[in-house]
Structure 1
Amino acid sequence: MTLDLRVLHRSDLDAWFGVLGTAFGGALQAPEERDKWRALCEPARSIGAWDGSEAVGTAGAFSFRMTVPGGAAVPTAGVTMVSVKPTHRRRGILRAMMRRQLDDVRSWGEPLAVLTASEPVIYGRFGYGVAAEQLTARVDTAVMRPVLPQGADALRIRLVDPLAPEVRRACEELYARRVPLRPGMLERRPGWERVPVHDPESSREGASPMYCALAERDGELRGYVRYAVRPDWDAAGSPAGEVLLRDLEALDPAAHGALYDYLFGLDLTSRLRIGNRPVDDPLLHLVPDVRRCEVRVRDGLHLRLVDVGAALSARAYAAPVDVVLEVSDPFCPWNEGRWRLSGGPGGASCERTRDEAELALSVRELAAAFLGGTSLSALAAAGRVRELRPGALTETAVAFRGEVAPWLPHGF
């Protein structure tokens, strides 16, 4: 095999997407799915692997800005569409693409790279850690309703066309107000506003077209929900439809409660299926019996620190911190060595130092803790962080933890 890695050209797109579709079992065969991702693809930030004239590997990187603790939006490479042709597995192609891609991301001056993993076991060896989780649930709405917060009954719920330009614009404006408040959320660049309302019939699996309901107070939008309904009846002939929550954002507890109450009360349904919500979603505290929610937690956002100093300097910390970190990173050796992190709620700096190390960890553990959702103390209990100065672990773990759980609201 003669492997050639090169930047993607528009003329290569058909072959490139062909490899991707084959590797993912035909996932991009539907024309509307392929058209969506072709429109969003950034060829200049994507690479293809070629064996002679044959395309055998793909890897892309969207240009995102992601919220980090403290509210700053940091340039971030959204790693996507990574695949290797089945005939060329286990030949080092994936490793070669990851090596080239991280070198490119560093050259672009982006301190972070993120991805969602089809197989979580793959990316840890390249320095990615699970930095945000997602909650899934299957809620029995036939026997309970949310306990509504004060003011929820004063909101008006209005059913609207999710594709109407004024509705999409209003929902995007509300989403943009939410982005700085939760680490892991992405600013939506032009074109990405179409992703949440992308609703091809081929992907509905028996469900209805997408619906959208707005929660308003005195004519002001306070929240929205996008959902679908999959009709069903039980063996006795009673309605047992399922509500599929696609997307929900709200500006206050009353709007959260009102929108969930609306979903719980939809006629001819008895279940609410939730595919991706923050692990601290208000739903957990709105329902009277969380056991009827069948809650599960799984990995969501995988994160990599491409530039340790720039990344740790970009976020704020929950408490004052002054610690020397001994970081190991064999895949990106420019990150290896000792770094002094000094900062607090107002910001931070992270510079190289020759001072004695106080905590030792790999870049993967640092990535897992970066957004504040994973405790350094928990990682230390698993033997993945070593305390070299008594007290350094507790001080640093407290500083890294966030006020709210990090969350990625949609895939890429």
Structure 2
Amino acid sequence: MTTRPAPRHPDIDVRPITEADVPDWTRALHTGFLRSPAPTQEEIDSRTGYLLAHRTQGAFDAGRCVATFRSFDQRLTVPGGTQVPADAISNVAVTATHRRRGLLTRMMTADLTAARDRGDVAATLIAAEYQIYGRYGFGPATWTTEWTIDVPRAGLDPRWSAPEDGGRIDLVDGADVRKTGPELHERLRRVQPGAVSRDERWWQVNTGVIHLDPTPWAEPFYALYRSPSGEPEGLVAYLCDDTWHDKQPHDTAQVQWLIATTPDAERALWHHLCSIDWVTRVRTGRRAPDDLVPLHLPNPRAAKATTHADWLWVRILDVVRALEARAYDGEGALVLEVADAAGLAGGRYRLEAAADGASCTPTGESAELTLDIADLATLWLGDESAVRLAALGRVREEREGAAHVADALLRTSRRPWCPDMF
């Protein structure tokens, strides 16, 4: 997608923020996301050191912050388990009074250029709106699905009380989660394409140690699964409401996040959630589109997909390293013509892939498949089909059958998934 030149407003100062800017920057962020524009002092104090330690930009008009942007270091898992350095982008907001003045383009261009020069393989973000980020070379690389389980129709044994495999489930507290959760997540992340790193702050925010939301913190339930040998293999955080009709319970368990490093752990945690007294519905939270949760139920129809949408967006900054980092199940070669309007990562490359590794090199050979950098990002983690994109006119075969070759090389047997919001 071609990026149209943005109108220039040199009187608006786009720059890294200082400590003195944090209150005004936070107000602009709240305004952009339609929250109360008056942040609490507790939030300002909490954000100050965190924001200044990262790559935080603001746009200032007559000294007032009117746009926000932040990025930070991240590790992204690609097919095969390699973790590549990524530039994670978040907190992007432009005040309604200052739209269409090129402020996001200025901040994005500075950030992506610095990320490329720093050696990041890709940039990542979770897009609030679909139409915004394609023009900056981002493509949707993973999708997410949420199911709502009708527990009475699921067909599970209502007397279920413990995993059949001899493992056990215990309710734990936030301190236990901060101790056990990071290592569990690392084990999942090492094998899950699309997963991203979590820092210590993530665990503090998600267990209530740090609370930025103006609404009171609601402590979730935490359930930990241990294998028969006592090894932690799964952890889930969930909230329950208290809803009754006609003297009958109709409670919903809302999963906030669930980590499972084995199928036994995953099955046991879903069965636990569906066995809680008074719970008649379980909302699974954001899962991979091909998650096994419906098939863990005797009646998969009891799990209805209630949300399905794009999730992690990726912008490739180094084509060679991106294609060489991931694993390939098939063997073959393909010459790609990659268009990049921003001039960050375009060119013609020859990809040679096999089960024992891949090489990607600039080449002068004739292109076999032509595509935009955003569409390469959509294909990179293995979720999308080049044949489908060709049918949509988003990639062009210069040699007949090249899209099928791309699919044979790039697509994965399980879909990539990013469990995180950032």
TM-score using structure 1 length = 0.91
TM-superposition CA deviations, 1:55-112 (whole Å, max 9, x none) = 1211111110111111111000110011112211111111222212211111211020
TM-score using structure 2 length = 0.89
Give the drift of 1:262.
Answer: 0.5
CA RMSD, Structure 1 to Structure 2 (Å): 2.5
Q: Confirm or deny: 8 A CA contact 1:8 1:44 kept in the other structure.
A: no
Q: What is the DSSP-based 3-state SS (H/G/I as helix, E as strand, rest coil) of the residue aligned with 1:98?
A: helix
Which segments of 5 or more consecutive residues in structure 1 lack a partner in the other structure?
A: none
Q: Confirm or deny: 8 A CA contact 1:316 1:347 kept in the other structure.
A: yes
Tell me the equivalent position of 1:160: 172
TM-superposition CA deviations, 1:133-155 (whole Å, max 9, x none) = 0111111112224599xx74412
Measured in 2, the distance between the counterparts of 1:399 and 1:280 equals 20
Q: What is the DSSP-based 3-state SS (H/G/I as helix, E as strand, rest coil) of the residue aligned with 2:413?
A: coil
Give the drift of 1:275.
Answer: 2.3
Structure 2 residue corresponding to 1:238, chosen from 245, 248, 252: 248
Q: Confirm or deny: 8 A CA contact 2:19 2:52 kept in the other structure.
A: no
Q: Confirm or deny: 8 A CA contact 2:237 2:258 kept in the other structure.
A: yes
Tell me the equivalent position of 2:386: 376
The one-letter code of the counterpart of 2:201 is G
* 1:277-356 pair list within 5 angstroms: 277-295=287-305, 296-330=307-341, 332-356=342-366
The change in CA–CA distance for 1:258 and 1:193 in structure 2 (over 3 A counts) is same
Which segments of 5 or more consecutive residues in structure 2 lack a partner in the other structure?
A: 1-8
Measured in 2, the distance between the counterparts of 1:218 and 1:44 equals 41
Tell me the equivalent position of 1:252: 262
Q: Confirm or deny: 8 A CA contact 1:201 1:209 kept in the other structure.
A: no
Measured in 2, the distance between the counterparts of 1:203 and 1:272 equals 24
The one-letter code of the counterpart of 2:170 is R
Measured in 1, the distance between the counterparts of 2:219 and 2:82 equals 36
Tell me the equivalent position of 2:273: 263
Matched, 1:21 2:30: yes
Structure 1 residue corresponding to 2:237, chosen from 226, 235, 248: 226
Measured in 2, the distance between the counterparts of 1:204 and 1:282 equals 36
Matched, 1:8 2:17: yes
* 1:12-411 pair list within 5 angstroms: 12-26=21-35, 31=40, 38=48, 40-146=50-156, 152-161=164-173, 163-164=174-175, 166-198=176-208, 209-216=219-226, 217-234=228-245, 236-295=246-305, 296-330=307-341, 332-411=342-421
Worse-superposed segment, 263-272 or 310-319: 310-319
Q: Confirm or deny: 8 A CA contact 1:137 1:294 kept in the other structure.
A: yes
The change in CA–CA distance for 1:312 and 1:405 in structure 2 (over 3 A counts) is same
The change in CA–CA distance for 1:36 and 1:394 in structure 2 (over 3 A counts) is farther
Measured in 2, the distance between the counterparts of 1:324 and 1:118 equals 34
Q: What is the DSSP-based 3-state SS (H/G/I as helix, E as strand, rest coil) of the residue aligned with 1:74?
A: strand
Give the drift of 1:213.
Answer: 0.9
The change in CA–CA distance for 1:205 and 1:293 in structure 2 (over 3 A counts) is farther
Give the drift of 1:202.
Answer: 9.0
Q: Confirm or deny: 8 A CA contact 1:208 1:230 kept in the other structure.
A: no
Measured in 1, the distance between the counterparts of 2:211 and 2:327 equals 43
Q: Confirm or deny: 8 A CA contact 2:19 2:48 kept in the other structure.
A: no
TM-superposition CA deviations, 1:323-368 (whole Å, max 9, x none) = 11011111x2142221111223333222211100000111111011
Give the drift of 1:283.
Answer: 0.4
